[in-house]
Structure 1
Amino acid sequence: MYLLIVDMQKDTWMQTLILSFQSLGVIYGRLSTAPLYVLESIDPGEISSPDEMHELFSFIFWTLTIIPLLKYAFIVLKADDDGEGGPFSLYSLLCRHAKVGLIPSNRGSSKILNQEEEEVSSDPSKGKPENKARKAIEKYKSSHYLLLFLALLGACMILSDAVLTPAISVLSATSGLGRSMAKISKVFSSHETKDHVANALKKYVPTPVACAILVCLFTLQHHGTKRIGCLFAPIVITWLIFISGFGLYNIIHHDAQILRAVSPVYMLRFMKKINLRHWKLLSSIVLCIAGSEAMFADLGHFSKKSIKITFICFIYPVLLLTYAGQAAFVSKNLRVDGAFHLSESIPNRSLEHVFAVLSLFASAVGSQATITAGFSIIHQCQALDCFPRVKVVHTSDKIFGQVYVPDANWMFMVLSIAFTIGLHDISELGKATGLAVTVGLLVTTCLMSLVIALYWEKHLFASVCFLLFFGSIETIYLSSTLTSFFHGAWCLIILFLFFMTIMASWHYGTLKKYESDVENKVSIEWLTDYSPGLGVSRVPGIGFVYSDVDMGIPAFFTHFITNIPAFHQVLVFVTFKASPVPYVHSSRRYLIGRVGPREYKIYRCIVRYGYHDNVRDTDDFEDHIISSIGEFIAREEYDQEALNSPEGRMIVLGTPLNDGSGLITVTETSSGECGPNLGESESRRGLLHGPSGSGGSPPPPVNRKRVRFMLPPKSPQMRASVRQELEEIIDARESGTAYILGQSHLMARQGSNLFKRLLVMTYVFLDKNSREPPVALNIPNAALLEVGTVYKI
């Protein structure tokens, strides 16, 4: 379904135009508001002549041309991962086309998963000579850790940008408002007090107003990308037309020679006389491409065609016109107070108040790109076990990449307000933002060069050329931002350590817990051969046992059987496996197999999902598994696509075939409190309405959908043994359903080093305060049994 929707979007020009319009309010707000602070973050005393202003504009022109236009619009956007972008999408491409994955769910995947992926993949590289670069990277374990670190580093930079960009964008706009209010106060104040009042307004007005705007901005996020894009796009269009209009005016009336600065000769002049003062100027110039990474990170919210068309046809020429006009004005007014602020270049003084109001709206819009990118990155990281479990809300039924993460939204808001109040200086925030931008660009360049060699399978020379060309430019800007490390860039380190500690601790804890589960699991023979000796009895019903191991019996279940020697008539071991892909098609979602002999009625189900799938947020999830087991029983012996595993044959299943060979589902809708599974009904109603005693009267009856299973009509094709086993599945389903969930707890061993203790303590804290595991969602409390185990690492 997802692929069909994407194809429809690609083929419909009207849909492309709509997405292009929405992208203006989401992706390009950041690039569009950069003129507010690019030149303002420069110290006026560092510019000695108009020629230097021309040379800086030459840097702006070529930086906008090389990075957003050439690198992202024409190259990086082609490396999407089924419509998803960002550093983790590049990392997932590398994981699938080279054995470099360190994600716990990938590292521990059984051979059956790899076998199935090899059989269904149509890799064009088969039959070709072995890629030397792939072989070298797969050989050294250190390269695997380096790639994961790069992916986490890129994610941290995008998350840090989502905090810093709202702060600098809104603060730069409110500073213009403060100037306008100061000028008005000079008109109405007395001669003795007007300077004092004006300075007070300039100093104290911007920060409180900026904090209020930030609260409003983050409060709007729950409306979703579509509504926000439609709301913000007219603001961005009006803003760009407004600033490009007086940009053209300034070129004509102040310095038409600025157009000659598009020649790279001006950059060479600047580089010839380079010194520390000139080098620091480049740390401000790099802000003109702040927001370029959002073109790729926000790809899941839109389409490649809409993003590319909008940038090439509108954003790129308008921004060049704006920067040229501002540089032309500054070159003729170097010694004028406040000349580097965009509001001073407005030709008509009566329009300053219009500019102040419009810039406030535009600055709020400009923050949307990084906030939306932050949501996408957190969603990807969480699905690949690199971020704590948080709630993810899909805000669109058609474009599944459009997500909203409430917990991350409020975290971004608190941090952004804290940095606005703590620094309240555009220059310092600009240095930190510039460092985040350059590091993020450099990470994308490194990962992209590997994608060119390993995924696109281009010649190694092409990969090296890409890395050297774009990497050298971004390294120059990175070194310039590092010169201002103690003038604001240091605050990025705080954000980096904050996000990296969270992501690294969660990854480490998840990995160690998984490894402990694998080490302590027991063989199938323990359950099938030795459990009868323990006096184990079978009780009516179906038991779903959720664990992280995809082979053998999990340790917590053996602990359960040893203390309570009984399990259900039908037992299903369910394991979730994240794949480094955005989506897993519903027809290939489940791998079903047997555990032990047929008479034991024990099955294994491996559920595969991508980092944009929500497979557990449904009430009928177990019904799909039961249907798949019924189809497995019917197809078990004659299915030609069955895969071999140490436990036996497994079949890839998904959407039921409805050919009469398996179980037939019948949906019933009932109201009231009667039913065969009263405990489940009570629990579900309690989750929906809360305790009945808290209100005055009991809640009204709720219509509930219940799925019943039936055998297909008798046919000579179905064997008697198959029909009998399906009848036992139906009887067990009617008897009731129980859910057994293992809870593994980590503890650091005595004598562990401080670093390991810190990681474990952080993981334990995050695990206790994060969302429930996916397997625990929508499970009635009356039917849920948790079994805890403690691992010391």
Structure 2
Amino acid sequence: MKESSPAPLIGSKRHKNLKRHDSLDMESNKIDGHHGHGRHQGTGWAMTLQLAFQSIGIVYGDIGTSPLYVYSSTFTNGINDNDDILGVLSMIIYTISLITLTKYVFIVLRANDNGDGGTFALYSLICRYVKVSLTPNQEAEDGNVSNYQLELPSSHLKRAEFLKSRLENSQFAKYFLLFVAMLGTSMVIGDGILTPSISGRVVWISVVILIVLFCVQRFGTDKVGYSFAPIITVWFLMIGTIGIYNFIKWDPSVIKALYPKYIVDYFRRNKKDAWTSLGGVVLAITGTEAMFADLGHFSVRSIQISMCSLTYPALMCAYTGQAAYLRKNNDQVANTFYKSIPHPIYWPMFVVAVGAAIIASQAMISGAFSIIQQSLALGCFPRVQVIHTSTKYEGQVYIPEVNYLLMVACVAVTAGFQTTTNIGNAYGIAVVFVMTITSAFLVIVMIIIWKTHILLVLLYILTIGLVELIYLSAALYKFKQGGFLPLAFAAFLMIIMFIWNDVYRRKYHYELDHKVSPGEVKEIIAKENICRIPGLAIFYSELVHGIPPIFKHYVDNVPALHSVLVFLSIKSLPISKVPMEERFLFRRVQPNEAYVFRCVVRYGYIDAQTDEEPFESILVERLKEYIRATSVSSSTGREIEEVDRAYSAGVVHLVGENAVIARKGSNIGKKVVINGAYNFIKNNLRHIQNVFDIPQERLLKVGMTYEL
């Protein structure tokens, strides 16, 4: 295949060490376009404040409703000593301050992937700076996407280079990082199940509310989004005000809990029981991860403002007020929240509490959709349909199959566990596991990408990291009392994800090893028995580096080619969004007069892969722009006319329907994974034409069996 000299993309950076092996013509990058890193960057204060207000309803529903059950989940056997209340309050205050405020609001939010957060966003960020992805992802053309931000560590920072080298040269490290990313994803999805379950008080009422909640998901969060923020704002104002009232009325001396000595005394008195009670205290920070996972809807500054101005003060007042109430009413710890509400406002507060609990559920369900979408785009989740429900907010998606599976799981958990205490045990493990995984990835980001001083990294590990590990150990202690649920669910989900990803990688490398060479393509086109028919054929493939083997299989059985043929690869980059003008990359397949092109369409993990404007017309326009940029003036008009004629004659979508089986002689484990598990999953989920909305009347499937 003829090589042409690359032309740099305006506004992007290329690293001198990136080398091109076999990829697409760089001349397609002449289309200008530069975009800032992350959405909502550079917005004015008016927009920032508006986003801050909206974030109250979307982000903080979960952590905001934690006062409903924290004290009852901590003092499961009652209060033995009145000063134990001070010890628990002190732990709540410092846990929220250290993990929610310091770690997430001021540190983790900075580790966003061009404005998006979450476990897979962190994993994707690391994969761009360190070659740890198990499928190729660092290509020269990808580095030219304006928000790819590919940059290697400075050579003088030997610590960063050492860690980078160790990760890149260790196959175990690559698999382990992928495993951890999948584990974090599974736990966040577990949050999506447990948050709705823990919010209810009466089982059958909770089940009805859950079914209704999941049934309305298809309408999208945007339809009710504007009603969320006012409800949660009222909720925070009410729990904060009630907290101040209880603090003044019952026992203002609880302010002593600011003295950490009460934590030490609490552990000295209760010993092992104090340690196991941490599983209840950790529920005070449930939903903290949502600030990071839902970052794409807002901005770092807007979330910092909403947390510091409303959420944090309201929570401090609420927990302090409940502690003051409990100091005089030890026997009412099982139902602290509702018992501490002043009688005249009990029912209004009850109504607001129900609304807040529903909104908390909505936020975590939406978060589960988003993180599944990210893992799907990176080849780590079985193919499902992703529906974008909002034209204003890119990250608002709906996944029908996942929605109904979550509904069944939520109803089963609520009906099976009966009490919020048991659900809380399971919830605590899911919450702390995700936080610990985020910290592990964050340390890698600190060392390799931020190049943070080693003393600051150690300080983070010895304070925040150590606290999270202590909480995780306490949560795991309650494994039999409900703690097994998120681990069992995560194990089930991870098996599915790993099987899918394993075969996905095997298929990719099979196609790479058996791709059709440029010389073979030229020979095929030149054959006398090959006829050219009017029309444009789009041949889909996951292979980026060449033409897939299924093309030769197709021509051997159907000796006809359309007048214009485009080999199209859908490639997901480990970034959140690819600008439209940088999405298409083309290269000719020689000879020019054959009108055969290769094209890679690049998507970020939150990009919609079915755009409002028909995909076919976008592809043809980009193809003509490429022809204008690369053809000599004497042939440009003729070539564009040929493309227009082919487009007018009709477009046919050729989709490879690849069956995969384990090759002869494979061990039993490989046969079970490929022949059994993978094919079962594949046959019971959507095919590519359903995911990309390919018109059925113009779809042609080409079957081929891959022996892996």
TM-score (norm 1): 0.80
1:212 and 2:186 matched? no
Classify the secondary structure of the residue corresponding to 1:367.
helix
Following superposition, the deviation at residue 256 of structure 1 comes to: 1.7
**Which deviates more from structure 2 when the two are superposed, residues 292-301 or residues 724-733?**
724-733
Distance 1:162 1:339, change over 3 A: closer
Q: Distance in 2 between matches of 1:432 and 1:776?
A: 34
Distance of 1:756 and 1:267 partners within structure 2: 55
Is this contact kept in 2: 1:505–1:762, CA < 8 A? yes
Q: Distance in 2 between matches of 1:261 and 1:133?
A: 42
Asked if 2 retains the 8 angstrom alpha-carbon contact of 1:578 and 1:610, the reply is yes
Residue 49, structure 1, aligned to residue 77, structure 2: no
Answer yes or no: is the 8 Å Cα contact 1:26–1:228 preserved in 2. Answer: no
Aligned counterpart, 2:419: 425
Report the residue type matching 2:376 in the other structure.
Q
Counterpart-to-counterpart distance in 1, 2:511 and 2:291:
40
One-letter amino acid of the structure 2 residue matched with residue 65 of structure 1: S
**What SS does the aligned partner of 1:386 have?**
coil
CA distance in structure 2 between the partners assigned to 1:377 and 1:720 by the alignment: 50
2: CA distance between counterparts of 1:7 and 1:633?
Answer: 32
Structure 2 CA distance, aligned partners of 1:59 and 1:742? 57
Post-superposition CA distance 1:130-168 (Å, at most 9, x none): 622212211212111111111111111110011001100
Cα deviation 1:168-225 (Å, max 9, x = unaligned): 012xxx2xxxxxxxxxxxxxxxxxxxxxxxxxxxxxxx11111111122223433433
Equivalent residue number for residue 610 of structure 1: 604
Q: Kindly indicate whether residue 672 of structure 2 is the aligned counterpart of residue 769 of structure 1.
A: no
Match of 1:76 among 92, 102, 108: 108
Shift of 1:119: 12
Matches within 5 A, 1:557-706: 557-618=551-612, 620-636=614-630
Equivalent pair of 1:617/1:777 in contact (CA under 8 Å): no
Tell me which moved more, 66-75 or 229-238.
229-238
**Cα distance in 2, alignment partners of residues 288 and 115 from structure 1:** 41
TM superposition shift of 1:530? 5.1
Contact 2:143 2:149 in 1 (8 A): no
CA distance in 2, matches of 1:129, 1:42: 46
- 2:364: which partner in 1? 370
Conserved in 2, the CA contact under 8 Å of 1:617 and 1:778? no
Match of 1:538 among 532, 540, 555: 532
Other structure's SS at 2:546 match: coil
SS state of the match for residue 452, structure 2? coil
What's 1:113 paired with? 141
- Tell me, yes or no, if the aligned pair for 1:534 and 1:565 is still in contact at 8 Å: no
Task: Write the distance in 2 (CA, Å) between the matches of 1:775 and 1:594.
Answer: 29
| Partner residue, 2:133 | 101
Is the Cα contact below 8 Å between 1:224 and 1:396 reproduced in 2? yes
Q: Measured at CA, do residues 367 and 477 of structure 1 come closer, stay the same or move farther in structure 2, by a change above 3 Å?
A: same
Taking the aligned partners of 1:775 and 1:428, their CA distance within structure 2 comes to: 40
Aligned partners of 1:58 and 1:262 also within 8 Å = yes
Offset of residue 778 of structure 1: 3.9
Deviations along 1:752-776, whole A, 9 cap, x unmatched? Answer: 3347614653332332232332697
Q: SS of the counterpart of 1:61?
A: helix
Moved more, 39-48 or 374-383: 39-48
Larger deviation, residues 530-539 vs 378-387? 530-539
Partner of 1:506: 500
Gap change, CA 1:528 and 1:44, over 3 Å in 2? closer
Q: 1:787 aligns with which of 699, 702, 708?
A: 702
Counterpart for residue 196 of structure 2: 166
Q: Over the residues paired in the alignment, what is the CA RMSD in angstroms? A: 2.6
Q: Give yes or no for contact 1:450–1:463 (8 Å, CA) kept in 2.
A: no
Report what 2:474 is aligned to: 480
Q: Deviations over 1:624-644 (max 9, x none)?
A: 22223322233226xxxxxxx
- TM-aligned CA deviation for residue 331 of structure 1: 2.4
- Checking the alignment, whether the CA contact within 8 Å between 1:518 and 1:549 is kept in structure 2 is yes
Separation in 2, partners of 1:421, 1:775 = 35
Query: Matches of 1:564 and 1:230 in 2, distance apart?
Result: 55
Q: Which residue of 1 aligns with 2:634?
A: 720
Q: Match for 2:174 among 128, 132, 144? A: 144
Q: Residue in 2 aligned with 1:317?
A: 313
Q: Provide TM-score, normalisation by structure 2.
A: 0.89
Residues 24 and 229 of structure 1 are in contact (CA less than 8 Å); yes or no, is this contact kept in structure 2? no
Given that 1:514 and 1:548 are in contact with CA atoms closer than 8 Å, whether structure 2 keeps it comes out as: yes
Equivalent-residue separation in structure 2 for 1:209 and 1:422 (angstroms):
14
- Deviation of 1:114 (Å): 5.4
Tell me the equivalent position of 1:698: none
Q: State the alpha-carbon separation in 2 of the partners of residues 19 and 118 from structure 1.
A: 25
Counterpart contact for 1:389–1:770, Cα < 8 Å:
yes
| Superposition pairs of residues 372-387 of structure 1, within 5 angstroms | 372-387=366-381
Structure 1 SS opposite 2:80: coil
Query: What count of residue pairs does the alignment treat as equivalent?
Result: 673
Question: Are 2:302 and 1:388 equivalent residues in the alignment?
Answer: no
Would you say the 8 A contact 1:376–1:401 is kept in 2? yes
The share of aligned pairs that are identical, in percent, is: 36
Q: Which moved more, 1:48-57 or 1:226-235?
A: 226-235
The aligned counterpart of 1:459 is 453
Aligned-residue offset at 1:584 = 0.9
* 2:185 corresponding residue in structure 1: 155
Distance 1:760 1:351, change over 3 A: farther
| Conserved? CA contact 2:145–2:582, under 8 Å | no
Partner of 2:409: 415
**Which of 281, 284, 304 does residue 280 from structure 2 map onto?**
284
Distance in 1 separating the partners of 2:645 and 2:61: 59
Write the deviation string for residues 523-551 of structure 1: whole angstroms up to 9, x where unpaired: 12122125545722222222221112223
Deviation string 1:385-406 (CA, Å, 9 cap, x unpaired) is: 2122223232332331232333
Question: What is the Cα deviation at residue 337 of structure 1?
Answer: 4.9
Any conservation in 2 of the 1:22–1:233 contact (CA below 8 Å)?
Answer: yes
Aligned to 2:164: 134
| Structure (1 or 2) with the larger CA radius of gyration | 1
Q: Kindly provide the CA deviation profile for residues 364-407 of structure 1, in whole angstroms up to 9, marking residues without a partner as x.
A: 12223311211210111111121222232323323312323333
Asked whether the 8 Å contact 2:197–2:411 carries over to 1, the reply is yes
The 3 A distance-change label for structure 1 pair 351 and 729 is closer
The residue that corresponds to 2:15 in the other structure is none
Q: Does 1:242 align with 2:238?
A: yes
Secondary structure of 1:575's match? strand
Give the whole-Å Cα distance in 2 for the aligned partners of 1:136 and 1:4.
32
CA contact (8 A) 1:380 1:611 kept: yes
**What letter matches 1:312 in structure 2?**
C
Q: Which amino acid aligns with 1:376?
A: S
SS in 2 for 1:791: strand
SS in 1 for 2:133: coil
- Kept in 2, the 8 Å contact 1:300–1:402? The answer is no
Give the whole-Å Cα distance in 2 for the aligned partners of 1:115 and 1:307: 30
Kept in 1, the 8 Å contact 2:567–2:597? The answer is yes
- Cα separation, partners in 2 of 1:485 and 1:755, compared to 1, 3 Å: farther
Q: In structure 2, give the amino acid aligned to 1:527.
A: V
Secondary structure of 2:701's aligned partner: strand
Partner-residue secondary structure (3-state), 1:488: helix
* Alpha-carbon distance in structure 2 between the residues aligned to 1:17 and 1:438: 31
Contact 2:70/2:280, CA 8 A, preserved across alignment: yes
Aligned equivalent of 1:747:
661
- Kept in 2, the 8 Å contact 1:10–1:16? The answer is no
Q: Which runs of 5+ in 2 are unaligned?
A: 1-32
* Structure-2 change in CA distance of 1:616 and 1:344 (3 Å): closer
Q: 3-state SS of the aligned residue for 1:385? A: coil
Partner Cα distance (1:169, 1:2) in 2: 45
* CA deviation profile, 1:413-446 (whole Å, cap 9, x unmatched): 2211110001111111000000000101000000
CA distance in 1, matches of 2:148, 2:306: 37
User: Secondary structure at 2:77's aligned position in 1?
Assistant: helix
**Offset at 1:121?**
5.2
Higher relative CO (Cα under 8 Å, sequence separation at least 6) belongs to 2
Q: Give ranges in structure 1 of 5+ residues lacking alignment.
A: 175-205, 638-717
Matches within 5 A, 1:514-553: 514-529=508-523, 532-533=526-527, 535-553=529-547
